[in-house]
Amino acid sequence: YAQEVHDLIHTLGIRVSVDKNDERVQAKIREAANMKVPWQLIVGPRDAEARQVSVRMRGIRHDLGAVDLDMFISALQEEIKSRGQHSVLEKCFPDIDVAKDA
């Protein structure tokens, strides 16, 4: 499923990569944070079954939760086109207070 998500996002011209190494998920999350990756999508069997992705955003210390894959991609495209005027957070996670969670 991770490769399917990668391919879908990549076909839209958005930079994306899949971390396939055998490290624990927490180590992968920490490494991505150190690399200042803006968005991390974590997928597992339940996410694949529901066609969702669990989302983490740079600057917010916790998992934002699961969201429908198509909704996330649509919101991400909108954020890119608007150069940040429209946020993935606003569309997918309206209840998140960024100032409080950072």
CATH assignment at residue 90: 3.40.50.800
Give the pTM: 0.79
pLDDT of residue 95: 76
Q: What CA–CA distance (Å, rounded) separates 64 from 66?
A: 7
Which regions of the chain are under pLDDT 50? none
pLDDT of residue 86: 64
Q: Which range marks the domain in which residue 75 is found?
A: 2-101
What's the angle, vertex CA 36, arms to CA 32 and CA 41, rounded to 5?
50
pLDDT of residue 19: 95
pLDDT of residue 97: 67
Provide the number of structural domains found in the chain: 1
